[in-house]
Amino acid sequence: MARPSESLAIEARELVKTYPGGRGKPRIRALDGVSFGVETGTIFGLLGPNGAGKSTSVRILSTLSRPDSGGASIAGVDLLTHPDRVRKTIGFVAQKAVTDPMDTGRENLILAGQLQGMPRRSARARAAELLDRFSLTDSGDRLVKAYSGGMARKLDVAIGLMHRPQVLFLDEPTTGLDPEARAEMWAELESMATAEQMTVLLTTHYLDEADRLASQLAIVDHGRVVVTGSPDELKNGLRGDAVFVELAPETDLDSALRAISRVRALGDVIVDGRVLRGRAAVGATALPQVLGALDDDRLLVASATVARPSLDDVYLKYTGHTFVSSTSAATKENAA
């Protein structure tokens, strides 16, 4: 058995997890050898569409589930050998609310602290501190059922912080929030990570959230980690520009592909619905050539843009499909 690394706050080693596939169906392999390490004091993102294996990874790392094989350690403590010790060092904020809507925000926080073994006086002081940090002081003595979605989510995060954990797991912390509430939560999480001086593992299916919050991230696809690195490192590693051409509804897709195949400045062309995506060393040079080739064949274009590499481009490079298409496919699969 591999010894836990003393330099990592979180270490996952070849985690495998399967679930029954239903009557007559093979088992579902939710995790297929997931490995990654998280440096102490960082915000680490697990980025992937729904069903990629993010939440399964977090459930294992927070001791809520056991892997079929593989190992992990939290703050240098082996997860499988000493789960009780691990639970004392972590906080966990699940996707679903854990608060009692018929209690006040303050009462929820105090109860969470006492469940972690805090004396009531200490729990009250910590609750007041966290209500202030998350701008909930004025609402602290209101019933949680009267909270907005953003306020309730802030309270969930505050509950995870009550006992000052070394490592905090945030599972999809902004799912369901409106754009304004999401932006507010991002600011709170950035401030919290600095103030609490702890390690945060964040799962998300929002590209902009991973880009904004994570200093390091792992992209997860079909139960595997396909690439790790900082958002900037991953984007800069692609080099060049992304070129997007949306074809008009009446334009034949095959004809358009043949036309742009003549443009040597454009490579790695893929089809995403009626959008052709490619890469070019200098997008501003390649785009006029692409439009010219299409115009020569009298093929109509709805829109065309050039952009610097994004995390969606990174996801495309390492998985072979776009993030949006993966999310749509996962949604359809879950609905089936």
* pLDDT tens digits, one per residue of 76-127: 999 999 999 999 999 999 988 889 999 999 999 999 999 999 999 999 999 9
Q: What percent of the chain has pLDDT over 90?
A: 73
Query: CA-CA distance, 173 to 186, in Å (whole number)?
Result: 9
Query: Looking at residue 5, what is its pLDDT?
Result: 59
**Could you tell me where the DSSP H helices lie in 52-148?**
54-61, 83-89, 105-115, 120-133
Query: Looking at residue 322, what is its pLDDT?
Result: 77
pLDDT at 295 over 60: yes
Q: List, for residues 178-188, the tens digit of each pLDDT value.
A: 888 889 889 88
CA angle 186/309/202 to nearest 5° reads: 30
Q: What is the pTM of this model?
A: 0.83
Identify the band that residue 316 occupies on the pLDDT scale cut at 50, 70 and 90.
confident
Return contacts of 14-18, CB within 8 angstroms, 24+ apart.
Answer: 14/69, 14/70, 14/71, 15/57, 15/60, 15/67, 15/69, 15/70, 15/71, 15/72, 16/67, 16/68, 16/69, 16/70, 17/53, 17/56, 17/60, 17/65, 17/67, 17/68, 18/68
Query: Looking at residue 3, what is its pLDDT?
Result: 57
Residue 68, burial from CB neighbour count under 10 angstroms (0-12, 13-18, 19+): middle
Q: Judge contact between 162 and 116, C-beta under 8 A.
A: yes
For domain 8-234, the question of CATH label 3.30.450.150 is answered with: no
pLDDT at 289 over 80: yes
pLDDT at 328 over 80: no
What tokens does 181 get?
């509430």
pLDDT at 330 over 60: no
Q: Which CATH architecture has domain 240-308?
A: 2-Layer Sandwich (3.30)
The domain segmentation of the chain, as residue ranges, is 8-234, 240-308
